[in-house]
Amino acid sequence: MTEPPRPPGTGEPGGPPPEPTPPPAAPGPSATDEPPTAPLSGAADPGGYPPPGGYPPPAGGQGSPGGYPPPGGGVPPGGYPPPGVGYPTGGYGPAGGNDDKTWALVAHFGGAAGMFLSGGVLGWIAPLVAMLARGSQSPAVRAHAVAALNFQLVWSIVGLVGWVLACILIGFVAVGAAVIIGTVFGIIAGVKANEGTPYRYPMSANLIK
């Protein structure tokens, strides 16, 4: 009888058994694939842009990311210094309060009263007293007193010259002008000082600084 056909790979009778076929390998990364590498810290990304936080990064704590000086130092916005006390930039110092205001009123109203009562020659006394009594302690009072003193000195000199020339009519004109101008503008300056507003006397001179 003839043998039935054997399946392929069974080998010859009496020969060694065929080697088993290994199972197919599971899918995975090939040996040629390279693992992704992370960008170095602080280096540019693949698009060529710098890392977040601005370019260049701040070094040594100098400046802010926007290139401007840190807040709280230097000249304030606008380029102007902070408003100070005194004349002509403003009102009275925080330490003086009502005392500064009172002495400023003495300088202005006292000068006006002195010009009116003395016939135009003693309007400088009250501003001088205010400057000596309070000017060394308060820049605001000193500024008001100096402004009043300079004005009253000018018109006290005019009044004094008028009294010297009283023998002629022009002398009385000078005295009248000194009394009226010294009194009126002294009152105006006192009202402004009461409101905390500096006042620049017209027709004055910087005799005392």
Distance (Å, whole) CA 157 – CA 147: 16
AA letter at 165? L
pTM of the predicted protein model: 0.53
CB 142 within 8 A of CB 86: yes
CB 204 within 8 A of CB 130: no
Q: What is the pLDDT along the chain (209 residues), one digit of tens a residue?
A: 555 565 555 555 555 555 666 666 555 555 455 555 544 544 445 555 555 555 454 455 444 444 444 554 444 444 434 444 444 444 555 445 688 999 999 999 999 999 999 989 999 999 999 999 999 999 999 999 999 999 999 999 999 999 988 777 778 888 899 999 999 999 999 999 998 888 899 888 888 87
What pLDDT score does 190 carry?
A: 93
CB 127 within 8 A of CB 104: no
Q: Which residue reads 């400023």 in tokens?
A: 104
Q: How far apart are the first and last CA of the chain?
A: 147
The residue ranges of every structural domain in the chain are 98-194
CB 173 within 8 A of CB 162: yes
What pLDDT score does 91 carry?
A: 54
Distance (Å, whole) CA 107 – CA 92: 14
Distance (Å, whole) CA 26 – CA 14: 36
* Number of C-beta neighbours around residue 164 at 10 A: 11
What pLDDT score does 81 carry?
A: 40
What pLDDT score does 76 carry?
A: 46
